[in-house]
Chain A
């Protein structure tokens, strides 16, 4: 339909055309000159109507006009229109200049870094106090955490390690057979599992299992003000909540890593059986390659990973904001941070071991 027109007819007026923002201005102005009191307005010839059109019709109605023959769409728009109820627009996000954004990001990064240093310092001081007076540690809580982090993680660690061992052995055995070197798959498997993959895969599983759990547990306590309640009773959350988890992480991750290495090698051995290498040969190859140095290097790594998993989990939990969604955010941050830090720690240790000649 073409241009919008307002035409006088016998019983009042008739609107013809589309009631849209683009077309309405002249008609609206003209309509102000008319006394609408109990005038009839026929809308049967109106096609499309948008918000501006609805506002126009609303004004006509307010000034006394009686609207006739509205089509369904227009009727719906008009009923939805309620000028008393202001439309709630979410406030426009003010976009800062890039330099300001960089400034904000830097500030929050620096603050976060400062909080991390404080956390490390507090944890170290709490640990020192516990070393001097071991009775200050909540031993029962420590044991409970050991069970949760350690023993309860055995099934999943077993499954993943077994599959890891099988996959590693299988994938390396095929190309090595081309050189008739499938015998050395045992060496490869032993070295990589003991020095690297056992601790790392255990740490990754624990990051998802325990790191997230620590963050969520402590985060929920924080949101519920249980942490504040603890503080008013004179208890430091560091002693009460963090230290048992930290120690459990450091103690349990190496143990789990040993288990993971053993199961991984079992998986590898099973595959090698299929390639015609007997268990005894596999074992003698393995023991000729892997020595105590490799093992302890791996254990040290595992302990470091345990520290990372537990401390970052607790740290993010304690840093939880307010509100129910804060716990989820804290948990996500914890897992992501743990994974990044695990890789960094692994890299640093690799360099250190290389220079030490381990």
Chain B
């Protein structure tokens, strides 16, 4: 089922959480709402679910206006960041809950509920935990149970509020992949909120980058990463080095390096990702000279801090092999050669 969001405005007191926001989610799509905390992504999700009422604007499910419909009529499944499992019920009862509380006319028989719950538990690969209580499960298991519980009512839309936010990195990565596979299997229209760009890029069909209650960019993961629409998107989707520069005849100059400035303005900021910089000991035209001040090992990669005169410290990320090949030392003078750069005009 497709979701259409039209000109939603939501304010909390003085604070504008959602500012005239519109968005379309196609049927069967997995969309990530990505943004820093306080950007309104959770508010948007809750408005879609019907847990919050917007001040103005419309929500359409499959072309049908649901703005004034109660949550229970919207048939959404909601997965909460902190699981929100019912603590006094077993895992089985938790998953069965959504079916048990249906009015008698639409309630499946006990045998059917049992079969369905076990199917779902198998889907989330936790069938063997059916008799435990939520308190006896690990965080990752709880979140999968919460997902099974949300899926039990056969929702038309699945909404996930930072589902992996409270888990450790390893479990989070596992669950991410698992969620992607699950979605490929059941194809329910899903919207999930995250502040982790890696998560959004890995899992989602489309990524919606939000900032200050508005959408900065919508696109496939590669689109938003490779062609960020705004400096905000560029900065949010990974580490970045900034060079403030002046523009001369269409070229932004940093040291002796020149970058083509697309917009005409006096000042521009050049954005370069740390892993898109090459190091050299020989001065070439277009290289920026600097001095290495720190070398830090980050697992598979090495991060070097290079002090460049008249600019902030520049971070350069190399693979370990490249670092060993180059044998870069602290206090050495090096030349930085950006492979890729993006220039945005500064107002």
Contact = CB atoms under 8 A, between A and B. Distances in A.
Interface of A: 224-226, 228-229, 231-235
Nearest to A220: B87
Nearest to B46: A228
Range for the number of chain B residues in contact with chain A:
20 to 34
Contact of B72 (A226, A228, A231): A231
B51 interface: yes
Nearest to B83: A224
A231 B86 contact: no
Contact of B101 (A224, A225, A226, A233): A233
B82 A225 contact: yes
Contacts of A234: 71-73, 101-102
Nearest to B77: A232
A181 B140 CA distance: 74
Given A233-B98, A234-B71, A235-B101, A228 B80 contact: yes
B82 A232 contact: no
A232 B78 contact: yes
Nearest to A225: B84
Nearest to A217: B88
Contacts, number: 45
B17 to A, nearest CB: 15
B97 interface: yes
A224 B94 CA distance: 15
Given A229-B78, A229-B84, 20 more contacts: A224-B82, A224-B83, A224-B84, A225-B81, A225-B84, A226-B86, A226-B87, A228-B78, A228-B80, A228-B84, A229-B149, A231-B71, A231-B72, A232-B51, A232-B71, A232-B77, A232-B150, A233-B97, A233-B101, A234-B102
B229 interface: no
Given A233-B72, A234-B71, A228 B51 contact: yes
Contacts of A228: 51, 78, 80, 84
B72 A235 contact: yes
Contacts of A226: 84-87
Contacts of A229: 78, 80, 84-86, 149
B277 to A, nearest CB: 27
Nearest to B86: A226
Nearest to A239: B101
A305 B229 CA distance: 63
Contact of B80 (A225, A233, A235): A225
A234 B150 CA distance: 12
B76 interface: yes
B49 interface: yes
A228 B72 CA distance: 11
A104 to B, nearest CB: 12
10 contacts: A225-B80, A226-B85, A228-B51, A229-B80, A229-B84, A232-B71, A232-B76, A232-B150, A233-B72, A235-B72
Nearest to B150: A232
B153 interface: yes
B101 A232 contact: no
A276 B145 CA distance: 69
A268 B149 CA distance: 57
A233 B153 contact: yes
A231 B73 CA distance: 10
A231 B80 contact: no
Nearest to A223: B82
Nearest to B100: A233
A231 B51 contact: yes
Contacts of B49: 232
Contacts of B76: 232
Interface in B266-294: none
Contacts of B97: 233
A343 B84 CA distance: 38
Contacts of A224: 82-84, 87
